[in-house]
Amino acid sequence: MPNGAQALMKTLADAGIEVCFTNPGTSEMHFVAALDDEPRMRAVLTLFEGVATGAADGYARMAGKPAATLLHLGCGLGNGLANLHNARKGRVPVLNIVGDHATHHAALDAQLQSDIETVARNVSPGFVRTTMRTAELCRDAVDAIRAARGLPGQVATLILPADVSWGEGGVPEPPPPPPAPAPADAATVAAVAAVLRSGSRCALLLGGQALREPALLAAAKIAAHSGARLLAEVFPTRLERGAGLPPVERIAYLAELAGLQLAEFEHLVLVDAKAPVSFFAYPGKPGELVPAGCTVHTLCAGHEDAAASLAALVAALGAEQATPVLAAPARPRPPRGRLTAAKVCRALGHRLPENAIVIDESITSGLLLPAMTAGAPRHDLLTLTGGAIGQGLPNAIGAAIACPERPVIALLGDGSAMYTIQALWTLARERLDVTAIVFNNARYSVLNVELERVGAARIGPKARAQLDLDGPRLDFCRLAQGMGVHAARADHAEAFLKALDYALAQPGPHLIEAVVPESLGGTKRRLLPWLLRALPGLPPALGRALKRRLAP
Amino acid sequence: MPNGAQALMKTLADAGIEVCFTNPGTSEMHFVAALDDEPRMRAVLTLFEGVATGAADGYARMAGKPAATLLHLGCGLGNGLANLHNARKGRVPVLNIVGDHATHHAALDAQLQSDIETVARNVSPGFVRTTMRTAELCRDAVDAIRAARGLPGQVATLILPADVSWGEGGVPEPPPPPPAPAPADAATVAAVAAVLRSGSRCALLLGGQALREPALLAAAKIAAHSGARLLAEVFPTRLERGAGLPPVERIAYLAELAGLQLAEFEHLVLVDAKAPVSFFAYPGKPGELVPAGCTVHTLCAGHEDAAASLAALVAALGAEQATPVLAAPARPRPPRGRLTAAKVCRALGHRLPENAIVIDESITSGLLLPAMTAGAPRHDLLTLTGGAIGQGLPNAIGAAIACPERPVIALLGDGSAMYTIQALWTLARERLDVTAIVFNNARYSVLNVELERVGAARIGPKARAQLDLDGPRLDFCRLAQGMGVHAARADHAEAFLKALDYALAQPGPHLIEAVVPESLGGTKRRLLPWLLRALPGLPPALGRALKRRLAP
């Protein structure tokens, strides 16, 4: 009879969970030993738990099914919390396995003893369970898997005491049935159809599952038929885009811009999305971004089938024959001269390979990425769903393991890359086809903007030093080489293109350090001219609104 | 009238909190802006929250008063949790300030919204408070400071919503009174004195405050007078040791060895320490390490004055005139030839500068450090109090800032160094006099031992790969250089000594990568001979007990 860990391993593999991102300790050693009993399970070691959890997030976004993590007690969970938060906010399924002391050891309050469940509730409000008996382990695991991969997906945390893992009498369990979501009910569809037929200015706000091809095509037919506009949530979990797919305009991160973007609409229809709110609060500014006078409707929520709901709406409108607008193939010309963040985005648009997975954690530096890649070959875009930076490199590990045949390109700010820089080692160890591009502008650029946006009056040198990553300047090439990743640095567009070509042609992983000037001005005086220069790259509605606002 | 952040800054400085270890985001921008209003406050930027919290831990251990942290919402707290756990277990005072969304923004469930308090309870069971009004902020801060620096010290978490920080009407508060702990009561002292006079085999187990010089000297008088032996808890928060100070024998990490170490005693007297338990549980082995037949007594607990309690015990025994045993000055001869972990420890004993702060997170590699430095010039030893690895480099930042005139030497395993490797950047930026020594044996050595100790039957290649940090091998020199830290590599003792001399003579920071072979065998066959070889360096009681046990 298998021990708990062996039975768990078989249960996981039977349920299609075939990758485990790990950073184990002593209490997880029986789980580790059981890896060799289950040929279907791939274990990917990380040097830091935030890498493991971010990899599980990226894997599930692309594989459409959860991976497992393996974390070491409450402290390991703490280290993994930020990227589990991103998964939670992105409604991504993750089976989060946290090893614990043996059940009889907890009362001794040994050094690593802490209250794991309380931490886990932060990211797993829907499912936290500590298994207390080996015989129950696999039933609990199946419950956790069911919870994780339900619609919407969630982070399910299974706490696994060491003695439950090593105990004899594990009983493998068959997998849970897949979720079977229903579309929106007919009355809701009819009501939304009536709104779209009303002649008012309408937009569909697409999120979650509605940003995948079948749903997008249905939404584009609705838009073509009704005149409604298509918007996407600000930070999509996974957005399919590029030439041949319907273009959607993402809500802007800056609340000031998002407000302009939404100002023209009288009705906003939510499709697996929530009504947009400001990322942060600012003194004297509203947090709700939906303008007064705009009515919000919900076609379908996260537990419903977004594509089927949109298909039903197509039918209700009689829009089956409408011709959806699709992005035409188009690439910007290659950039030249001194490298800037905008030129990196242009270079990517110029060279993006077919079927790439693009992970964008470039914060301010990637602002022109959507515009520059709008007509590039079709690709998937993964973004920072929960705002907890340090997601990009770990996501790239998971995406590359989920889709070994697809090139993965991760765009990272210098600040954000450092939170989980240990991911580079796992990229090298697993020989993943990932090109990591780090925008090195030697500062937390976004905070230079935010410091002003929150209305902080005087900004002195001590405050400014908190946003500055210079002195010493980070050398990402050395960091990459220190973890076995091939690296190149570019401060001119030509060198960047050459490095990009090399990285895309040679087996990965690669890191390209793009040395760029400060991408956003630190003062309003500099921000506005910058936005004006950026206007041609901005989404059309936003560009129009800004031009109106900024006109003398 | 100051805003909340400005009033808070003055309140902190008035209470002697003059260092803040930060990783701020938008919700902390008013706190950041207020830094320039308070010349007494030093803000130290880190690139990862675990560095900030570990630095606050190391600072307080050496400064004897708390620093503040500045973390960004629940995710920032999660990233900082492991080192806050170490502080909690070490009973180290930390004022943990976690920025949050504005109070009116929480209901909007924006991207970074999460339940911060639930996470905070893991490390701050004694004090978690969210301030809801600017006028109350400084009163709450004073309560938090009082809680943090009470005896025993603790991590007090103050959650600071952005609007409370930016709101007008902050009211600075005077500092709380310092804690005034009492010694153990007379009856307890008399009872312990009777035990020590009984002629039984007794040991004093010293922990917490009892490992500082005044308490140690009193304990050594008691030992000289009564024949009791002096033991220290396995992972001291801060142990003063070296030539001229009383030597104490630390409880061994390996429960098997600790059991042998404790086997001879009939009475164990706890002095600001808890009864020793096994670090982890193992199948079929007891978690309590106190042997059957040994009676445990408590002289004083964490809320009492350990030095005064020991002084009272000295008086009760009439031991004032006893001559304490003090460590004689002695240094091992310099090592030669191919570098090993033991030779690194020997080299440190040979060269340790006067008044150093030694931070030991070397896990298996530092096993001989206590023996090799027993007669070195007096120094402070900080260890991994909570078992959450990633403490060493951040602790070094804090210790060096608390004691700028003292050399800091941090010993790190390769695995453990990677959890918070971002600390190197802050070491460089603040130009701290720290020498970081990384034992690079390309594996989680301790787990090779643990995998066997937990009784995992077969150990296959997938399991073994989980413990192996090779492929690619980490290059710590490049990692250090990538963050602006001078680095050298040594694989021979002579080169190591030369690098150490250079690092100790030149302004820091420095990193020395000590390339060493696997320090602990992966199988029991290899572990026992290794222990036998290590015997001369082991604590005396442990050496005697092991020799008896291992004799044929």
Whether residue A455 has pLDDT greater than 90: no
pLDDT for res B363: 86
Query: Which pLDDT score, from 0 to 100, does residue B47 have?
Result: 98
Question: Given an 8 Å threshold on Cβ–Cβ distance, is B483 in contact with A475?
Answer: yes
Sort A470 into a burial class: Cβ within 10 Å, 0-12 / 13-18 / 19+: exposed
Distance CA A292, CA A276 (A): 13
Alpha helix locations (H) across B105-170?
A: 116-120, 134-149, 162-166
| Residue linked to tokens 């050891």 | A105
Q: Do A36 and B461 lie within an 8 Å CB cutoff?
A: yes
CA distance readout (Å), B385 to B56, B89, B213, B363, B533: 14, 6, 19, 12, 27
From chain A, pick out residues whose CB is under 8 angstroms from the CB of B483. Answer: 472, 474-475, 479
Domains belonging to chain B, first-starting first, are 4-166 (3.40.50.970), 186-317 (3.40.50.1220), 341-520 (3.40.50.970)
Determine the pLDDT at residue B481. Answer: 98
Distance CA A305, CA A404 (A): 28
Q: Which residue of A has its CA nearest to B103?
A: A281
With 0-12 / 13-18 / 19 or more C-beta atoms within 10 angstroms meaning exposed / middle / buried, residue B526 is: middle
Cα A342 from Cα A358, distance rounded (Å): 16
CA A79 → CA A46, A51, A315, B74, B444, distances in Å? Answer: 12, 9, 48, 12, 18
Rounded Cα distance between A39 and A95, Å, is 19
Looking at the complex, report in whole angstroms how far the Cα of residue B321 sits from the nearest Cα belonging to chain A. Answer: 38
Is A48 within 8 Å of B419 when comparing Cβ atoms? yes
Which residue type sits at A90? G
Is-contact B260 B542, C-beta < 8 A?
yes
Residue A347 has pLDDT above 80, yes or no: yes
| Contact flag A78-B82 (C-beta cutoff 8 Å) | yes
Mean pLDDT score, A70-82? 98
- Candidate from A74, A388, A474 with C-beta closest to B112: A388
The whole-angstrom separation of Cα B315 and Cα A300 is 78
A-B contacts at Cβ under 8 angstroms: 333
CA distance B472 to chain A (A): 5
- DSSP secondary structure, B468-510, as one string: B-TTTTP-HHHHHHHTT-EEEEESBHHHHHHHHHHHHHS-S-E
- Backbone φ and ψ for A23, nearest 5 degrees, come out as -150, 80
Q: Residue A258: its chain B contacts at CB < 8 A?
A: none
Is the Cβ–Cβ distance between A116 and A88 less than 8 Å?
no
Nearest chain B residue (CA) to A485 = B472
Whether residue A479 and residue B475 make contact (CB cut-off 8 A), yes or no, is no
Q: What is the 3-state secondary structure (H, E, C) of A484-530?
A: CCEEEEECEHHHHHHHHHHHHHCCCCEEEEEECCCCCCCCHHHHHHH
Chain mean position to CA A212: 14
pLDDT, one tens digit per residue, over A183-209 is: 999 999 999 999 999 999 999 999 999
Q: What is the ipTM of this complex?
A: 0.95
Q: Higher confidence at residue B442 or residue B543?
A: B442
Range B70-77 average pLDDT: 97
- Asked if the Cβ–Cβ distance from B85 to A114 is below 8 Å, we say yes
Are A48 and B162 within 8 A, CB to CB?
Answer: no
pLDDT score, position A519: 53
Judge contact between B531 and B546, C-beta under 8 A. yes
Chain A: residue nearest B391 by CA?
Answer: A75
Rounded-to-integer distance, Cα A519 and Cα A362, Å = 11
Q: Are A158 and A97 in contact (CB under 8 A)?
A: yes
Query: Strand runs (DSSP E) across A321-391, as ranges?
Result: 357-361, 379-383
pLDDT reported for residue B59? 98
Angstrom distance (rounded) from CA A464 to CA B428: 18
CA distance A401 to chain B (A): 17
- A170 chain-B contacts, CB cut-off 8 A: none
Measured CA angle at A350 (ends A348, A355), to 5 deg: 70
pLDDT at A549 over 80: no
CB contact under 8 A, A387 and B75: yes
Q: Which of A50, A116, A463 lies closest to B36 in CB terms?
A: A463
Residues in a beta bridge with A269 = A204, A297
Best mutation target, B111, B290, B432, to test chain A (most A CBs within 10 A): B111
- Give the pLDDT score at B285: 87
Question: Rounded distance, CA B21 to CA B24, Å?
Answer: 10
More confident residue, A502 or B448: A502
**Chain A residues with CB-CB distance to B479 below 8 A:** 478-479, 482-483
- Whether residues A36 and B390 touch (CB distance < 8 A) is answered with no
DSSP assignment string, B229-280: EEEE-SS-S-EEESTTS---EEPPSSHHHHHHHHTT-SEEEEES----B-SS
DSSP bridge pairs for B20: B43, B68
pLDDT score of B371:
93
pLDDT digits (tens, 9 = 90+) for B203-235: 999 999 999 999 999 999 999 999 999 999 999
- Judged against a pLDDT cut of 70, whether residue B375 lies above it is answered with yes
pLDDT band at B457 (very low <50, low <70, confident <90, very high): low
Mean pLDDT for the stretch of residues A111-129 = 96
Phi-psi sector, A282: left (phi>0), alpha (psi -120 to 50), beta:
beta
Give the confidence band of A529 by pLDDT, cuts at 50, 70, 90.
Answer: very low
Secondary structure class of A300 (helix, strand, coil): strand
Q: Please answer yes or no on whether B422 and A418 come within 8 Å at the CB atom.
A: yes
Residue listed under structure tokens 């990758």: A19
Within 10 A of A529 (CB to CB), how many other CB atoms are there? 11
pLDDT of residue A470 exceeding 90, the answer is no
**Candidates A37, A288, A478; nearest CB to B482:** A478
- CB-based contact B166 A283, cutoff 8 Å: yes
CB-nearest partner of A281 from B101, B121, B418: B101
Among A21, A111, A385, A483, most B C-beta atoms within 10 A, so best to mutate, is A111
Task: Please write the tens of the pLDDT for every residue from B255-276.
Answer: 888 988 999 999 999 999 999 9
Enumerate the residues of chain A whose CB falls inside 8 A of the CB of residue B33. 451, 456-460, 463
Average pLDDT on A398-421 reads 98
Name every chain B residue with its beta carbon within 8 A of the beta carbon of A106: none
Are B470 and B442 in contact by the 8 Å Cβ rule? The answer is yes
Is the CB of B32 less than 8 angstroms away from the CB of A74? no
Tell me which chain A residue has its CA closest to the CA of residue B20: A466
Give the DSSP H/E element, type plus range, for residue A21: strand A19-22
> pLDDT grade, residue A540 (50/70/90)?
low
Query: Does the pTM exceed 0.90?
Result: yes
- In chain A, the residue whose alpha carbon lies closest to the alpha carbon of B27 is A280
Question: Kindly report the CA angle at A452 between A446 and A458, in degrees rounded to 5?
Answer: 130
- Are A122 and B74 inside 8 Å of each other by CB? yes
Rounded distance between C-alpha atoms, residue A417 and residue A210, angstroms: 29
CB burial of B112-139 (b: ≥16 within 10 Å; e: otherwise) equals: bbbebbbbbbbbbeebbbbbeebebbbe
Nearest beta carbon to residue A279 from set B41, B111, B277 = B111
List the beta bridge partners of residue A43: A20
pLDDT band at A546 (very low <50, low <70, confident <90, very high): low
Nearest CA in chain A to B482: A475
B210-to-B251, B276, B305 alpha-carbon distances in Å: 15, 16, 9
Instruction: Give φ, ψ of B294 to 5 degrees.
Output: -100, 125
